[in-house]
Amino acid sequence: MKKKTDLRVIRTKKMIIEAFVALSKTKEYEEITIQEIADAAMINRATFYAHFKDKQDLYDQILEVSIKAFAEILDTEKLLSGKTVKLKKMERMLTKIFQVIQENKPFFSSISDGRATIQFRQKLIELLYDKYEEIFKNLKITENDIEVPIDFIVQYMTSIFLGTVHWLVNYENNFNPDHMARLVIKLVGNGHLTVLGIEIDRD
Amino acid sequence: MKKKTDLRVIRTKKMIIEAFVALSKTKEYEEITIQEIADAAMINRATFYAHFKDKQDLYDQILEVSIKAFAEILDTEKLLSGKTVKLKKMERMLTKIFQVIQENKPFFSSISDGRATIQFRQKLIELLYDKYEEIFKNLKITENDIEVPIDFIVQYMTSIFLGTVHWLVNYENNFNPDHMARLVIKLVGNGHLTVLGIEIDRD
DNA sequence: TCACATAATCAACAGATTGTTGTTTATGTA
DNA sequence: TACATAAACAACAATCTGTTGATTATGTGA
């Protein structure tokens, strides 16, 4: 099970991914040809096909990696204690996440285009669903006698997160991860959670 | 200036757009070829090029039309009276917008894919910027001595709107436009606006 | 109703791009 | 250093794009 991967394979894959990310900054996904990627990565076009099924496959694999970083952070702490949401923990988690994004700003900027958004969103939703369900499952939120489904809450919260990320990587700003986290917590914590009737623990 | 457009032109354009929207439901944007669009629209491929520069051009024009519907609604009412936001007006506007979306659900569903999202977002932001600026320009919002720029607020609010729309058209639900508007107003109005220190008029 | 401007069809074109294959060369590994 | 295998290379059919010139069909306005 522990066969070491050939150095050449690792090197080539790395170069392909870097080439693609670099190209993403200059042109749209659809405009990038395999030949261009191969040229930029300084490999033969056929070699590309030895590693990736097609352009979409390359894209998926890149996305997969970046999502994993988030998943690891999210798995570390429990946000819920009884029926109370731990805001401080939430803030810590957010700070870490914004840190990862900040450190890889050019990367996230290049992959957070239109194409990524929908897939990114979908993967994030899958990732966040359990977290949110944990918080909201015992809560019946109603609006004019119509129950507000968890689906909606998750979409809503994910949108906020995505919007924040989008702004962070695409606009000039001097916000550090810490400030971002605090700001989002302030908006979501003081705003939404109380509106939705969630108990809050600020320590 | 008032030359009437040839009926054939209108008919053909309509068929191309309808064909494209229909195809969007079965496959991804990149997978759709001009030939397929032409086949579905029952016109010659060359005719397509007589009306649209390329696939992207077609897409842009479709998006343009759908944005206009929103723009018209947004232009009707002033949201701000002095320093106070008129929630009721906001709710009326939102209701109308959700109505438009609801009525054209399959359409918005098919165009609100990853591709659209980023362009849709951009156009919405341009559209909403003035509205938001009107509300927030005289307000200095600070977080730990760092001023929160209008950019951020607009991104944040636009994200919420987009997320809501995304949920509305892509998930099974029995929410009518009225309920959607009320729910969003409740979340945004009671939550964010108060956090941001905006005065609110609920009538 | 009819002439005509113009829209749509059709066939054919070069140029790009894709994905694959068989052969040869280069190189990391043990 | 020998060998397994990764990468380079060249050539391939297949598909799609965008354009053009000639021909046919059809709305429109007189």
pLDDT at A1 over 60: no
Angle between helices A114-136 and A150-170 (to 10 degrees): 130
Residue with tokens 């119509």: A146
A202 CA, C7 C1': Å apart: 69
Q: Which CATH number fits domain B62-201: 1.20.120, 1.10.357, 1.10.10, 2.70.50?
A: 1.10.357
As a whole number of angstroms, the distance between CA A140 and CA B4 comes to: 57
Write the pLDDT tens digit of every residue in A11-45.
999 999 999 999 988 888 889 999 999 999 999 99
Closest alpha carbon within chain A to B173: A149
Q: Does A175 touch chain B (CB under 8 A)?
A: yes
- What is the structure's pLDDT at A63? 87
Cβ of A105 near strand D (under 7 Å)? The reply is: no
Higher pLDDT, B191 or B112: B112
Answer yes or no: are the C-beta atoms of A164 and A94 closer than 8 Å.
no
| Other Cβ atoms closer than 10 A to B143 | 16
Higher pLDDT, B126 or A87: B126
- What is the structure's pLDDT at B17? 96
As a whole number of angstroms, the distance between CA A95 and CA B13 comes to: 50
Collect all residues of chain B within an 8 Å Cβ-Cβ radius of residue A175.
146
Write the pLDDT tens digit of every residue in A36-75.
999 999 999 999 999 999 999 999 999 888 888 888 888 8
Which CATH topology does A7-52 take? Arc Repressor Mutant, subunit A (1.10.10)
Q: What percent of chain B has pLDDT over 70?
A: 78
Q: What percent of chain A has pLDDT over 90?
A: 26
Which nucleotides on chain D have any atom < 7 A from a protein Cβ? 5-11, 15-21, 26-29
pLDDT at B14 over 90: yes
Question: How far does CA B75 lie from the centroid of its chain?
Answer: 14
As a whole number of angstroms, the distance between CA A125 and CA B53 comes to: 37
Task: Pick out residues whose CB falls under 7 Å from strand C.
Answer: A 4, 6-8, 33-35, 45-46, 49, 53-55; B 6, 8-9, 11-12, 42-44, 46-47, 50-51
Show which of residues 46-105 on chain B sit within 8 Å of chain A, judged by CB atoms. Answer: none
CA A130, A134, A139, A143 torsion-angle sign: negative
Nucleotide nearest to B48 (CA to C1'): C8
As a whole number of angstroms, the distance between CA A131 and CA A194 comes to: 18
Q: Encoding tokens for residue A12?
A: 């080539």
Q: Does A167 touch chain B (CB under 8 A)?
A: yes
Which class in CATH covers the domain with range A63-201? mainly alpha
Mean pLDDT of chain B: 82
- The residue type of A33 is T
pLDDT at B15 over 70: yes
- The residue type of A44 is N
- What is the structure's pLDDT at A113? 66
The alpha carbon of residue B111 is apart from the nearest alpha carbon of chain A, in Å, by 12
Higher pLDDT, B141 or B177: B177
Q: Does A200 touch chain B (CB under 8 A)?
A: no
Q: Pairing mode, if any, of strands A84-86 and A199-201?
A: parallel
Residues 6 or more apart in contact with residue B75 via CB below 8 angstroms: none
Higher pLDDT, B23 or B134: B23
- What is the structure's pLDDT at A40? 97
Instruction: Name the residue with the least CA to C1' distance from nucleotide D19.
Output: B46
Beta bridge partners of B147: B142
Answer yes or no: are the C-beta atoms of A21 and A110 closer than 8 Å.
yes
Instruction: Tell me the H-state helices in B137-193.
Output: 150-170, 177-185
- What is the structure's pLDDT at B179? 86
Which whole number is the average pLDDT over B137-153? Answer: 70
HEC assignment per residue over chain A: CCCCCCHHHHHHHHHHHHHHHHHHHHCCHHHCCHHHHHHHHCCCHHHHHHHCCCHHHHHHHHHHHHHHHHHHHHHHCCCEECCEEEHHHHHHHHHHHHHHHHHCHHHHHHHCCHHHHHHHHHHHHHHHHHHHHHHHCCCCCEECCEECCHHHHHHHHHHHHHHHHHHHHHCCCCCCHHHHHHHHHHHHHHHHHHHCCCEEECC
Q: Does A201 touch chain B (CB under 8 A)?
A: no
Residue with tokens 């959670």: A193
Query: Which element (helix H / strand E) includes B142?
Result: strand B142-143
Write the pLDDT tens digit of every residue in B33-83.
999 999 999 999 999 999 999 999 999 999 888 888 888 888 887 776 666
Write the pLDDT tens digit of every residue in A167-190.
888 888 888 898 888 888 877 766
> Cβ separation of B167 and A179 shorter than 8 Å?
no
Output Rg (C-alpha) for chain A, integer angstroms.
Answer: 20
B59 CA, C7 C1': Å apart: 23
Which whole number is the average pLDDT over A148-160? Answer: 81
Out of A84-93, A106-115, A157-166, B7-16, least confident range: A106-115
Which of the four pLDDT bands, split at 50, 70 and 90, describes residue B32?
very high
Cβ of A35 near strand D (under 7 Å)? The reply is: no
Name the residue ranges covered by the structural domains of chain B.
7-52, 62-201
Query: Which element (helix H / strand E) includes B54?
Result: none
- Angstrom CA distances, A176 to A108, A203, B88, stand at 16, 22, 37
Which of the four pLDDT bands, split at 50, 70 and 90, describes residue A145?
low
Which whole number is the average pLDDT over B89-103? Answer: 88
